[in-house]
Amino acid sequence: MKLFKKTLIVLLAMLTSFQAFSFCAAAAGGGTAEIMGDVDGDGVVTVVDATLIQKYAADSIGSAHFNVNTADVNLDGFINIDDATKVQRYAADLSGTLYAGMTPQEARALKNDDDIQTPIIF
């Protein structure tokens, strides 16, 4: 019986340690991938994200309140009301969202593909 209790205590301690490690990894940014437009980091692009972008564009909040890396959804180099509008449209499932909902890497790769102009031959 004592062996069973000791084994159970060791297993519970290991499980608790694993859960604490998983929580710390998620809190450090290792839990979910970044999504363009998801500035609050909850894994979903919503109107809350659009509101945060609006507040940032109006200088009501600083960059410490959200992920600046995912805020510029049109990849024009500025975080402004246009980005907030794109996020609102994405959250409402409307067109004209550009890169919202993609990872930053996917968005930048697609933008680079879009920037390549192919010559028109007559």
Residue pLDDT, tens place only, 42-65: 999 999 999 999 999 999 888 888
Which is higher by pLDDT, 45 or 114?
A: 45
b/e per residue, 66-96, with b = 16+ CB within 10 A?
Answer: bbeebbbbbbeeebbebbbbbbbbbbeeeee
Distance CA 82, CA 63 (A): 17
Structure-token pair, residue 110: 């697609």
Per-state percent for the chain, helix, strand, coil, to nearest 5: 55, 0, 45
What's the average model confidence in pLDDT over 59-86? 91
**What is the reported pLDDT for 19?**
42
